[in-house]
Copies of this chain bind each other. A is one copy, B any other.
Amino acid sequence: MLKVLVSPWGNFKVWKKTVYFLNGRKFSARSTLPVIKEEIKPDVSFVILPDTLTGSFEDYEAVVKHVKGEGYSFLKELGVKDVEIIVAPGSGSFQNGRFIGDLMDFYNIVLYELLAKLPKSDMEVHLDVTHGLNYMTLMTYRVVKEILETMGICKKVSLIVYNSEPPIQDQITNVHIVERANLFFRPSDDYISSKIYLLDLYTIEKTKENYRKLNEEELYLSKSIVKRCRKMWNAWMASLYFGFPLVFTTFFPEPDDVKRVIDDVLRVYKSHIKIEGNTIKRCLKFGNEFKILLKLHTLINMVPEIRKNALSIQEIREIGGKIFDQKVRAFLERELNSIEKEAIDRSNRNITFDWKPLRSLLKTPASEEVIKRNFMAHAGLECNITEVKLEKVNSREEVKYKTFLRYSESKRNVIPELVERIVFG
């Protein structure tokens, strides 16, 4: 299993040498990093530093470069190799300068950076929260947990959290494991709202004109993509949790669309970081939708990419086995069984048929009203909007029959809307 170490750090310059003790292993150092790295031997390691440690204020690139430079020197002094430093925006006034911006910028940037850098495989994340300042500790914890609960859609992931006792110079300080958990897919509680809240004004005055400029000019590209795709993306994300296999393949998002929005939002956000003297002003802050898009992009990269309007029952089973949890799989299987029973009955009588409403196969009375609850209770295979086809497949040895399902072409475009009504109650 791949091991990843993540350590949010505060101002490492003030740390004193201590004897850190973990699982019978002792290490005298100014940080827990050597002893933890020695103990777990991670494949990939990240240290997260706030930009508030900077000594350079030329431009934001110089800010990041300076913090990284000092960080890598300290790592060298610790004798630790193969660690990547991520610099994220902090807030507050310090001796070196003022850092004005939303506290959540740290969360959003760390989420973005870690999602971009973490391998997409089964993994064990070791999070050492010993050295973080409190908002950074808590936010990094949230970010890591949310990432793993996103990747959990089809990867085995677990989290181990370390924390030392308050260190005392030159004495033995115990490093404790304070959490150890296997994490499972957990859908975002949020969906992309009709307000498409990507960025917001922070230090810029909240006038109509400034909002117009931000939303209609600077974010024009992003907003128009999200406006076009929003309902399909929401439906697709919901399909993973509620278990709608046909929604999953019919509305599989274009990863490039999502990526383009993410890049565009970051570009606009960064273009509004102003530096005057020793003051850094982040004039915009991230809206709620940014993190949803980051998670959506991750989900797209985790699951098998299947874009199909029609699926065989066998294909649905395979998809279910890969992306749905056992509860949803059991319900889906029940649904497929009842459809298959009828299909086998026809094929036993050598009957095949082209696309027709599923309700006519299941002998359900027709109904124009697609009931929300039925859509959910039947794994999205509601019999008035789903169509079924039975084909004869001639293989060398035997005659086989294959059952296919799809959404009726005339009703396909109402489905994102319908799923939205389910999701938002």
Measuring CB to CB, which residues of chain A are less than 8 angstroms from any residue of chain B? 91-94, 102-104, 107, 129-130, 132-135, 137-139, 141-142, 161, 163, 165-166, 168, 171, 173-174, 176, 178-179, 181-182, 184, 186, 189, 241-242, 326-328, 330-331, 333-334, 373, 376-378, 422, 425
Contact = CB atoms under 8 A, between A and B. Distances in A.
Contact of A376 (B137, B165, B166, B330): B330
A341 to B, nearest CB: 12
Contacts of A241: 327
Given A104-B178, A135-B129, A333-B373, A327 B91 contact: no
Contact of A129 (B130, B134, B184): B134
Contacts of A163: 103, 134-135, 138
Contacts of A138: 129, 137-138, 141, 161, 163, 178
Contacts of A166: 92-94, 133
Contact of A184 (B189, B331, B333, B422): B189
A425 B168 contact: no
A185 to B, nearest CB: 12
Among A129, A181, A189, A376, the most chain B Cβ lie within 10 Å of the Cβ of A376
B93 A171 contact: yes
A182 B189 CA distance: 8
A89 to B, nearest CB: 12
A134 B137 contact: yes
12 contacts: A92-B165, A92-B168, A103-B163, A103-B178, A104-B176, A107-B178, A133-B134, A137-B137, A138-B163, A139-B178, A142-B179, A186-B186
Given A93-B171, A94-B166, A334-B378, A178 B129 contact: no
A135 B334 contact: no
A415 to B, nearest CB: 17
A93 B189 contact: no
A277 B94 CA distance: 40
